[in-house]
Amino acid sequence: MRILLVNGSPRRAAANSRIVLDSLKSRLGEGHEYRMVEAMSRDAEAGDLECDFIVLAFPLYIDCLHSRLLSWLLSYEALLARARASGGARRRIGLIAVANNGFHEGVQNETALRIVANFCARAGIEWRGGLGVGTGEMLKELKGAPSRMLIKRPVSLALDAIASRVGEEPSPSGNLYVQHAFPWLLFKLVAHAGWRRQARANGLGPRELRARPFASR
């Protein structure tokens, strides 16, 4: 299959979404033709239509998709409609999406995945469902850890499940939601310590981090 991997993160190569795409690619294995698109860099191009399947990964951005990814989807829909009208594009394209967020709950990606499903309905693309991953920042921390590692296992299994939907055969289109097996409170405490550490590296203390430059006077 010709598979288009679409990275919808402004962090591009350093993104957790890129880790998701790489891990899905390794699950899908060789024997496919892959092409990576950075949706932040440009609108969709004619070459992006030359695929059998789209694998989209993106971070949750203010409860949905980053503005540039939204523009990319709009441009893809318009290009595809034009190409189909002139008989020049494949009739059948499938799509799965993996959204990740920095909160704990994977289910917070639900609305974002509904937006992607609505895009598929508009564009005439087969929606094969999505995966919403919480604790997204842990993807990077656990990148090199074994898939069966207790903390990572729920996410690994969910990635296996969503990867299995890539193919010619019809598959379920329901969404899956998951987060790393890491307690809510501990996740919060570790995240807070991380923010403070990064701020300190920039010469900022905890009080400066809470600055209110535009408070009403």
Partner 1 sequence: MKVFLLYDEDGPDRRSAGSALAAWAEKGGHEFGSACAEGLGPCLGCFGCWLKTPGRCVVSRDGWEALIKSFVRADLVVLAGEIPYGSFAPTIKAALDRWLPTLLPYFRRFRGEMHHVPRYEKRPRILSVALGEALAAEEETHLELMRSFCDNAASPRQKRFFRFRGDGAALEAWLEEEAAS
Q: Nearer to partner 1 by C-beta: 161 or 191?
A: 191
Compute CA distances 209 → 61, 205, 212, whole Å: 21, 6, 9
Q: Return the residue matching tokens 């024997």.
A: 31
Shortest Cβ 28–partner 1 spacing (Å) = 26
User: 3-state DSSP call for residue 98?
Assistant: strand
Shortest Cβ 17–partner 1 spacing (Å) = 10
Shortest Cβ 152–partner 1 spacing (Å) = 20
Q: Nearer to partner 1 by C-beta: 59 or 130?
A: 59
Strand residue runs (E) in 43-200? 53-59, 94-100, 126-133, 176-178
**Spatial separation of the C-alpha atoms in residues 181 and 179, rounded to whole Å:** 6
Q: Nearer to partner 1 by C-beta: 2 or 195?
A: 195
Binding site for partner 1 (CB under 8 A): 9-11, 15, 40, 59, 61-68, 70-71, 73-74, 103-105, 108, 110-111, 114-116, 118-119, 121-122, 184, 188, 191-192, 195, 198-199, 202, 204, 208-216
User: 3-state DSSP call for residue 116?
Assistant: helix
Cross-strand pairs, 55 = 5, 96
Q: Nearer to partner 1 by C-beta: 7 or 163?
A: 7
